[in-house]
Amino acid sequence: MFAGGQVSIRANSTGVILYLIGIITAVLLFFSSSHAQMRIIGVVFSENVPAYSRINSRFKDILKEKGYSKRVRFIEQHPNPDPLAWSNAIRKLIVYDAEMIIVYGSGALEQAIFETDSIPIVFVNVYSPDRLKINKRNVTGVGYKIPMTSLIRYLKEMKETKRLGILFSEIEPDSVLQMEDIVKACEKFSIGYVKMPVQKSGQVEERLKLFMYDALFFTNSAVIGKTYPECSQIPRSLNAPIISTMDGYDDSVVFSLSPDSDAQAKDLADIVISLINGRKTNIKIVRNNRLIFNLRLAREMQLQLPIELISGADRVIR
């Protein structure tokens, strides 16, 4: 009897051990599988640009809603808006074995294309990307288009403008495109203009003081966006109304016509999910733009108040 009981105990112990080994193996396989599915995604954008932060935050919310938040790990880089800093940020992500790199703005995009031709690059918030001649198989993303003639037409109805200052970044290709399109719009409406190029954020204040203008347009640019709010009182002191294609500067511009942030975030999420699942994707263009009119500022500057501008605005600041 005793011997038989001993055999039974040993058999039970062996069963328990095998059971525990099975559990441990399953757990290890689960975590191994989860780790294998986890995708490292690098993100590069300047924190000083409100639109970038807004799009990125909404983009992450959408991934979470769609059940992808546990399948990706983000490594974010927030460099100063200059070519060397953009390149260094992208190189770090390559070292971190990023399987995809998301870049905000055409300046960071240009450096990413230079740094890698194998890692998928996804750009966001780039004006008219079809005109930038991006012929790389590893590049896709979300661009936008804005009718620049509408900006000038609204300005013309608001104030008789003899000379429009056009503030743009020479190191961001799509900022140059916006400048060129605004120039064409000025010529169409017989408005004079002066080009105000910058290559680094420190030059913004210098340009605003150096040139003569009675209205100001500043392009969607990380270089300009970093320091512009600190310099917004300079054109205000000249009673020069400010217009822009940048989202997030509502308190300092009379009106802006900018691409919808939520639409860009949704398209970005769709592209990233497609790439995660091994599907091809095409460049998406956001044409849904938001017109924001600062009625309070327009009244302070004693500007005319076009009914079309007020009634057609997506948001009116009173």
Element (H, E) at 80: none
In angstroms, the CA 268 to CA 273 distance is: 9
Q: What's 128's domain CATH number?
A: 3.40.50.2300
* pLDDT score at 44: 98
Residue whose token pair is 């992450």: 60
* Residue 129 binned pLDDT confidence (cut-offs 50, 70, 90): very high
Q: Are residues 310 and 205 in the same domain?
A: yes
Q: Are residues 153 and 14 in the same domain?
A: no
Q: Are residues 119 and 183 in the same domain?
A: no
* Residue 19 binned pLDDT confidence (cut-offs 50, 70, 90): low
3-state helix, strand, coil in the chain (%, to 5): 50, 20, 30
pLDDT in tens, 68-106: 988 999 999 999 999 999 999 999 999 999 999 999 999
* Residue 30 binned pLDDT confidence (cut-offs 50, 70, 90): very low
Q: Are residues 172 and 220 in the same domain?
A: yes
Residue whose token pair is 């030059």: 203
Residue whose token pair is 């900022």: 175
Across-strand partners of 140? 122
Q: Are residues 85 and 104 in the same domain?
A: yes
Q: In terms of residue numbers, what domain contains 240?
A: 148-259+290-317
- Cβ-Cβ contacts under 8 Å for 143 (sequence gap 6 or more): 123, 126, 127, 128, 129, 130, 283, 284, 285, 286
Q: Are residues 152 and 267 in the same domain?
A: no
Q: Are residues 246 and 200 in the same domain?
A: yes
Across-strand partners of 194? 165
Q: Are residues 298 and 279 in the same domain?
A: no
Q: Are residues 158 and 222 in the same domain?
A: yes
Across-strand partners of 285? 143
Please name which of 245, 14, 288 lies closest in space to residue 151, comparing C-alpha atoms: 245
What is the separation, in whole angstroms, between the first and last Cα of the chain?
94
pLDDT in tens, 195-254: 999 999 999 999 999 999 999 999 999 999 988 888 889 998 999 999 999 999 988 899
Q: Are residues 310 and 183 in the same domain?
A: yes
42, pLDDT greater than 80: yes
In angstroms, the CA 256 to CA 238 distance is: 19
Q: Are residues 217 and 159 in the same domain?
A: yes
Please name which of 119, 107, 113 lies closest in space to residue 41, comparing C-alpha atoms: 119
* pLDDT score at 12: 56
Mean of pLDDT over the chain: 90
Question: How many domains, in total, are found in the chain?
Answer: 3
Q: Are residues 174 and 303 in the same domain?
A: yes
